[in-house]
Structure 1
Amino acid sequence: MINEALREIRRGTAEIIDDERIVALVKNYFEKGETYTVKAGFDPTAPDLHLGHTVLLQKLAIFQKYGARVQFLIGDFTAQIGDPTGKSETRKKLLPAQVQENAQTYKNQVFKILDPEKTTVVFNADWLNALGAAGMLELTTTYNVARMLERDDFDKRHKAGISISISEFLYPLLQGYDSVHLRSDIEIGGTDQKFNLLMGRHLQRVYETGKEQAVLMMPILEGLDGVQKMSKSLGNYIAVADAPGDMYGKVLSISDTLMWRYYELLSSKTLDEIDTLKKGVEEGTLHPKKVKEALAIEITARFHSSDAAEAAHAEFERVHAQSEIPSDMEEFTVSGPLWIAKALVDCGLSPSTSQARREIKQGSVKIDQNKLSDEQYQLEEGEYVLQVGKRKFARLKVIK
């Protein structure tokens, strides 16, 4: 059982520092019933989480299954500085009200994955505000500027003559101090967080906490394009708050190769179960589309419900397999005649008229299920079903 637990904990990881400590903690849980703490921090700089964020949540849920109590840290203090990791310039400061609003949405979303009975939600403003000026000055003496500049993104900015604020130097120190205050046994994060995660180990030594946290790093999840990391700014993301139909359709749109990456990092199936699916696809006894459908249903059910996932599956089949239009779509009423490109923007099917024209040229736009090629087309008085790609639909009524 211990080996099975460790296999699942190590699953999909990019790097583990002090694996021996993790082994000892898991072993103590099985042999002595002793629990341990696993910390993960999230700065509420945006209101919505996407599946890239849930890679860490899935790993936290695995730890909970094998004896951990999760310290889900919401960085309401550090979010006002902004994590400089990977940034080429100083971030804009967020207002406290924005941070608190975003923090509440995080709490609402994470318990779709984590067990609330085994989770402690903490806010680092509770102890960082109390640290005060004297405590903050003491914290700055624990690390020097030369070592801080060894960090890759700081080094690049320094050499390029790009400004680095003193507050950005403070960020990794504050994240590390979180581990001191919480006395964390393990901290997990993305590979881009390595410097900050190791700071926790360093400061636990400096402040003589009697422990050094192990560090487990997860890879960055690729977005729907299978190339760039999942990001809202790149538009290749699946949001936790996406409607069931959208979530299901987006998962189904990933490539057959990327599907296995999503299974490894996002599915609750065991590694043995995933290996069985892979073998079935390789031997031709399972069709990749069926395996992908199972993944889409699993992920959609996690954030909505089994019924919602099955309904999304049925609707997707009805619309796409049978080339029918959805039974439910947004309806709009506008005055006409109306240029088709503007109609697509007004209905939220395209972000701009230039993008709408490109989609028409690419053959991605249909009116009443008929492909449109004239980018100057004018919609006269009447009712229309507009479609962009396979998943975007709107019903438009044009009046005089």
Structure 2
Amino acid sequence: MNFNKIASSHPAPTALPLSDRVQEALAITKRGVDELLIEAEFAQKLARAEQTGKPLRIKLGLDPTAPDLHLGHTVVLNKMRQLQDLGHTVIFLIGDFTSMIGDPSGRNITRPPLTREQIEENAKTYFAQASLVLDAERTEIRYNSEWCDPLGARGMIQLASKYTVARIMEREDFTKRFKAGTPISVHELLYPLMQGYDSVALQSDLELGGTDQKFNLLVGRELQKDWGQEPQCILTMPLLEGLDGVEKMSKSKGNYISITEPANTMFGKIMSISDPMMWRYYELLSARTLAELAAFKSEVEGGRNPRDIKVALAQEIVARFHSPQAAQDAVTDFDNRARGGIPDEIIAVTLEGAPLGIGQLLKQANLCASSSEALRMVEQNGVRIDGVAISDKALKVAAGTFVLQVGKRKFARVTLT
């Protein structure tokens, strides 16, 4: 790609009045966001789009660093869908080039770059999963290798000349690492520039990201000015807390809800969040209107059981990633478990070594990570065999077929020989 071809000249925008539709679109855009910069500029972009009939170009870039998405990832995808439903063009950008650099955002060590093979494998499933939220037919899919690969050494040097080291080092994670004497590789300094260059190549009007992406999004805004483009606005979304209600949702922390896990498991995990956290999930994940959420809160204040409201949330999310019927089945399964019943579908396991100690039995059935964890669950009255609570840590289980239960959600039908 010719490095200079992307440049475009925009006249100074004329202030336009904000119609009721624009005001409503702005309110939808702002729902649940952390920041919208600069709001007045974005309002004018919306007004211009309404006047001209030309939709805004709205960009979200994701590096395929892992093959699966969880609900935390969908927070920003939900916002994209809202903007898509307002009639704007959403661009799902797969960072196949930037993945080879590795995004250093929020990290205190260098992120190992992915191989081309890892990137291609992860990218295969990314958009398929994102399409569970976005309207795939109305989504523009792009890969940033389209314009990054052709840059070459000359183009990279020209791009690097657009930003100073001092500005790059203003990024909090770089500053902390520099002060701590933690190594920073030169290629990491290029990452914000490459992400910013994506905005130039796509001529985006608005870029979305998590709060940890704010610096990178601002770089894109500045680079667009250098290319004579109208600078994009930026919208940052909060990082969704995980099931513990404290740490951000993350697979490494084990507090996540994958969008590909079974419907019953997904439903049960959502039901396990606290009542106060339920409202946070509603705000960031639900498609319900603000008026509907306000009505729910009034009902709870009036004495309605929060559990009923949480069931509605769990049903909505399960229906989105599975089906309405799967969501209804999950409600039935959850209620059955709450009454001490056994789910209709549970894993079947065949083991040898009877009689087998209860700790080893639970471990080998993959219901506990270790025998010591299994014995702790026995101590806490969290283990049942065919619905009967087990309290003896020295129990040896004889041969036979039975249902093991650990906690509220883990079941296995075991045949022990």
Give the structure-1-normalised TM-score: 0.96
Alpha-carbon distance in 1 for matches of 2:392, 2:27: 56
Q: Which residue of 1 aligns with 2:9?
A: none
Of residues 53, 70, 73, the one that matches 1:33 is: 53
1:174 alignment counterpart: 194
Counterparts of residues 102-121 of structure 1 (less than 5 Å): 102-121=122-141
Aligned counterparts of 1:339 and 1:130: Cα–Cα separation in 2: 63
2:388 corresponds to which of 351, 354, 370: 370
Aligned 1:13-24 pairs, distance under 5 A: 13-24=33-44
Aligned to 2:119: 99
Find 2:250's aligned residue among 227, 231, 235.
231
Which among 330, 337, 360 is matched to residue 312 of structure 1? 330
Residue by residue, what CA displacement relative to the aligned partner does 1:272-317 show, whole Å, maximum 9, x if unpaired? Answer: 1111111111112x32111110000000000011011111111111
| 2:269 counterpart residue number | 250
Question: Does structure 1 residue 154 correspond to structure 2 residue 174?
Answer: yes
Deviation at 1:7, TM superposition (A): 1.0
**Helix, strand or coil at the partner of 1:122:** strand
User: Matched residues, percent identical?
Assistant: 49
Give the Cα separation in 2 of the matches to 1:242 and 1:77: 29
SS in 2 for 1:230: coil
Q: Which amino acid aligns with 2:294?
A: D
Distance 2:151 2:115 in 1: 21
User: For 1:88, what is the secondary structure of its paired residue?
Assistant: coil
Aligned pair partner of 1:387 in 382, 405, 411: 405
| Alignment match, 1:327 | 344
Q: Per-residue deviation at 1:334?
A: 1.0
Map Cα deviations across residues 9-58 of structure 1 (whole Å, 9 max, x no partner).
10011111111222122223334322111101111111110000000000
Aligned partner of residue 68 in structure 2, secondary structure: coil
The whole-number CA distance in structure 2 between the counterparts of 1:249 and 1:3 is 38
Q: Secondary structure at the match of 1:72?
A: strand
Q: Which residue in the other structure is 2:238 paired with? A: 219
CA distance in 1 between counterparts of 2:316 and 2:96 reads 32
1:46 maps to 66
Name the amino acid aligned to 2:272: S
For structure 1, the residue ranges without an aligned partner over 5 or more in a row are none
Q: Give the Cα–Cα distance (whole angstroms) in 1 for the partners of residues 54 and 375 of structure 2.
A: 62
User: How has the CA–CA distance of structure 1 residues 354 and 171 changed in structure 2, closer, same or farther, with 3 Å as cutoff?
Assistant: farther
- Contact kept, 8 Å, 1:26 with 1:66, in 2: the verdict is no
Counterparts in 2 of 1:77 and 1:377: CA distance versus 1, 3 Å: farther
What letter matches 1:35 in structure 2?
P
Aligned-partner Cα distance in 2 for 1:278–1:71: 35
CA distance in 2, matches of 1:353, 1:168: 43
**Alignment partners' CA distance in 1, 2:101 and 2:160:** 16
Residue deviations 1:354-394, cap 9 Å, x none?
32232222222222222222333322211121111101100
**CA separation in 1, counterparts of 2:191 and 2:42?**
26
Q: How far apart, CA to CA, are the structure 1 residues paired with 2:187 and 2:359?
A: 46
The offset of 1:225, in angstroms, is 1.1
Distance 1:32 1:205 in 2: 23
Instruction: Report the CA distance shift for 1:200/1:342 in structure 2 as closer, same or farther (over 3 A).
Output: same
Q: What residue number does 1:276 align with? A: 295
Q: 1: distance between equivalents of 2:195 and 2:176?
A: 22
Bigger mean CA deviation after superposition, 107-116 or 24-33: 24-33
1:219 to partner: Cα distance: 0.7
2:390 is the alignment partner of 1:344: no
Q: Write the deviation string for residues 132-180 of structure 1: whole angstroms up to 9, x where unpaired.
A: 1111111111222222222111111111111111111111111011001
Q: 1:51, 1:240 within 8 Å by CA — same for their partners in 2?
A: yes
Distance (Å, rounded) in 1 between the aligned partners of 2:322 and 2:174: 41
CA distance in 1, matches of 2:370, 2:123: 31
Decide whether the 8 Å contact of 1:8 with 1:270 is kept in 2: no
Amino acid at match of 1:267: S
Task: Determine the C-alpha separation between the residues in 1 that align with 2:371 and 2:119.
Answer: 34
Q: CA RMSD in A?
A: 1.3
Distance (Å, rounded) in 2 between the aligned partners of 1:194 and 1:79? 18
Give the unaligned 5+ runs of structure 2. 1-20
Q: What's 2:224 paired with?
A: 204
Report the TM-score when normalising by structure 2: 0.92
- Amino acid in structure 2 at the alignment position of 1:356: A
Secondary structure at 2:236's aligned position in 1? strand
Could you tell me how far 1:261 is from its partner in structure 2? Answer: 0.5
Distance 2:293 2:283 in 1: 8
Distance 1:203 1:334 in 2: 62
What is aligned with 1:135?
Answer: 155
SS for the counterpart of 1:332 is: strand
